[in-house]
Amino acid sequence: MKINSFEEIIAWQKAKELIMISYKLFRNNRDFPFRDQLLRAVVSIMNNIAEGFERRGDKELKHFLFIAKGSAGEFRSMLYLALDLQYISKTDFDNLYNRSVEISRLLSGFIKTL
């Protein structure tokens, strides 16, 4: 199946959902450096998928998908801090963590097809 726009990429769609959940969950967090770093990481997932796709080359796309995967890892790392600092519940941690792992798996699969 030919993908015509980055909006059609499932990993991009799921990253957008993860961003919306994360923004709602952390919007009232007053630890601004922490919050900003976590939100930058999650937004980076979606934006790197889009940027890589728009460059119109498999080599470039693959490079940016790896960056997106790295951002997903950074996001998960920040989630551990959020849990340990009691910024989020274990339930919220599990939800965000599992969504992030799913995105990483989708990215890995996409990378393998290129």
- Residue-wise pLDDT tens digits, 37-78: 999 999 999 999 999 999 989 999 999 999 999 999 999 999
- Residue-wise pLDDT tens digits, 9-32: 999 999 999 999 999 999 999 999
7-113 homologous superfamily: 23S rRNA-intervening sequence (1.20.1440.60)
Amino acid in position 95: N
The domain spans of the chain are 7-113
Q: Which of 31, 33, 14, 35 is nearest to 23 (CA)?
A: 35
pTM over 0.85: yes
Q: Which of 9, 8, 7, 34 is nearest to 22 (CA)?
A: 34
